[in-house]
Amino acid sequence: MHPLISELHQDHVNLGRLLELLQRELDRLRSGESPDYFLLIDVIDYIESYPDQIHHPREDVIFRVYLSAHRDEAEDVKRLMAEHVSLVEESHQMRRAVEQVTQSAVSSRDALESQLAQFIARQWDHLNLEEGRIFRVLSESLTADDWKQIEANLPSAVDPIFGGAVQQRYQAIYDQIMIGS
Ligand SMILES: [Fe+2]
Ligand SMILES: [Fe+2]
């Protein structure tokens, strides 16, 4: 496996752990308890900052090179690229929905519950298509020259939770993940 695919796979493992935190808060909502709204906002903030801004653009560089030379899975790769755009908007909508509930007593918890459930499901769908099939296709199809081209165009940034040092902004999430592991 190319080291870059390994890095992206690790990003998925990390994101999966955060989606499990979101799921736990969703379960709380469903059982009538109050979720930890601060934790919800922090997780969404992380998704907006790293997966949406760094992880998906890195994948897009790979996908573009794949599409320029290999077409077998073009439909699904294009779908993933389109989702990279729509997922960003969904993250913003999710943040707004949580903020509205915290700021106004009249906001519907039912609406938040269904939006959060959809958000988690879409994140998993996207990740599972990449993990379940497309990453294997990329590993099998891309040549050494393709990878050179990819590496020359790759945005890089340090993951603010899993990149070695936890940014203070995300310490509460990190602590929750450590408690659960
Ligand atoms: Fe992706
Ligand atoms: Fe991904």
CATH of the domain at 107: 1.20.120.520
**SS3 letters across 56-114:** HHHHHHHHHHHHHHCCCCHHHHHHHHHHHHHHHHHHHHHHHHHHHHHHCCCCCHHHHHH
What is the reported pLDDT for 101? 87
State in Å: Cα 47 to ligand 2 middle. 12
Give the closest ligand to the alpha carbon of residue 60.
Answer: 1
Residue 33: closest CA among 45, 20, 24: 24
Rounded Cα–Cα distance for residues 73 and 66 (Å): 9
Q: What is the pTM of this model?
A: 0.93
- What's residue 106's pLDDT? 59
pLDDT at 167: 94
Cα(3) to centroid(ligand 2), Å? 15
pLDDT in tens, 40-62: 999 999 999 999 999 999 999 99
Residue numbers of the domain that contains 168: 3-180
Closest CA to 15 of 135, 159, 146: 159
Tell me which ligand sits closest to the C-alpha of residue 15. 2
Residue found under tokens 């659960």? 180
User: Exposure pattern of 86-115 as b/e (b: 16+ CB <10 Å)?
Assistant: ebbebbeebbebbeebeeeeeeeeeebeeb
pLDDT value for 155: 87
Number of domains in the chain: 1
How many angstroms does the Cα of residue 31 sit away from the middle of ligand 2? 31
Distance 20 CA to ligand 1 centre (A): 18
Q: Which residues of the chain have pLDDT under 70?
A: 105-107, 180-181
Q: What is the pLDDT of residue 105?
A: 60
pLDDT score of 5: 96
Chain position carrying tokens 């499990």: 20
In whole angstroms, give the CA distance from residue 156 to residue 160.
12
pLDDT for position 22 = 97
